[in-house]
Amino acid sequence: MEGSDSQRYRGRCIALALVALLLGPGGATLAQSPPAQEPQDQLTSAFREAQWTEGPGTANLEGIAEVRLPADYLATQGNDTRRIMEAMHNPPTGREVGVIFTRGANWFVVFEFDDIGYVKDDEKGSLDADAMLESIKRGTEAGNKERTKRGWPALTIVGWEQKPHYDPQNNNLTWAIRGESSGGSVINYNTRLLGRRGVMRVTLVAAPAELSSAIPQFQTLLASHTYTTGNRYLEWVPGDKVAKVGLTALVTGGAAAVAVKSGFAKYLWKILLAAGAGSLLFVKKLFKRSAA
């Protein structure tokens, strides 16, 4: 089978595998069951309708950047990513350009591009981790109001798993935060890749037990990330748009009050709960079906 026929076949495999995992006995649960009012067919449809790129190959991130996919990896682009995030209880930002899953692991990677302009890195020597954490906690409290409206459980920020660090050679900002929801823990390992016209927001969402094994694979993915021609940080020229925020705001989402007022606070965190764990097991099953 080729082209659309192959895609439709994979789509049917996705639907069947996901329904079996979510409705059958022994389904995995990382934190808690999804709310009763959340239809399970939302997640089924999101995966069934997505257009997947299979590794080995190259994942296109909406023409802004590319990432090399090893074997056993799957990726899809912006619109499909937004549907999947909503089904996994992560409010879409509208900036998603891709998501990557890999076989047999409780983690995934989300790519979002903020076209805010060129971010100067002149704050690299003055990052205040304590102040940043307090701002993130306030933003999360505001974000919990949005989660409550959707019938989703609230989040609590535990603290830094890794304090913010800026790499001036690669123009990357990295940090990790541990959070809890309904007794379950999850870690967001964040990287911001500075570009000429904005910032690629890359979030590794992992179960704590998976983090140590996930980070090396995640870093390999990031090493293969390249902005397309004209979008690279070093290609900035006078007259290009310059962002009104610095490195600190990339971590906190801006001052807490601004984040709350703008509604950005609800996007500061991504979770991996029952729906997420089920979808990751489903990806493992999909690979088996594809190889058959």
What are 56-105's pLDDT values in tens digits?
999 999 999 999 999 989 999 989 999 888 887 777 888 999 999 887 77
Residue among 207, 177, 158, 181 at smallest CA distance from 268: 177
pLDDT the model gives residue 25: 30
255 pLDDT more than 50: no
The two tokens of residue 285 are 């099953």
Chain centroid to CA 254: how far? 19
Phi and psi of 230, rounded to 5°? 95, -10
pLDDT the model gives residue 270: 61
Confidence of residue 106 (pLDDT cuts 50, 70, 90): confident
Three-state SS for 164? strand
Looking at per-residue pLDDT, the higher value among 235 and 156 belongs to: 235
Sheet holding 107-114, edge to edge: 53-54, 73-77, 96-102, 107-114, 199-206, 184-194, 172-181, 156-167
Confidence of residue 283 (pLDDT cuts 50, 70, 90): low
Chain centroid to CA 178: how far? 15
The residue length of the chain stands at 292
H runs (alpha helix) in the chain: 3-23, 41-49, 78-87, 129-149, 211-224, 247-252, 256-262, 274-291
C-alpha to C-alpha distance for 130 and 154, rounded to whole angstroms = 23
pLDDT the model gives residue 103: 79
pLDDT the model gives residue 284: 56
pLDDT tens digits along 135-189 = 888 878 777 887 788 787 788 888 999 999 999 999 999 999 888 877 777 788 8
38 pLDDT more than 50: no
Is the Cβ–Cβ distance between 211 and 189 less than 8 Å?
yes
Residue 176 backbone class (left: φ over 0; alpha: ψ -120 to 50; beta: rest) = beta
Q: How many CA atoms lie within 13 A of 66 on its CB side?
A: 8
Percent of the chain with pLDDT over 90: 38
The DSSP-derived string for 25-67 is TT---SS-PPPTTS-THHHHHHHHH---EESSEEEEETTTEEE
C-alpha to C-alpha distance for 45 and 275, rounded to whole angstroms = 13
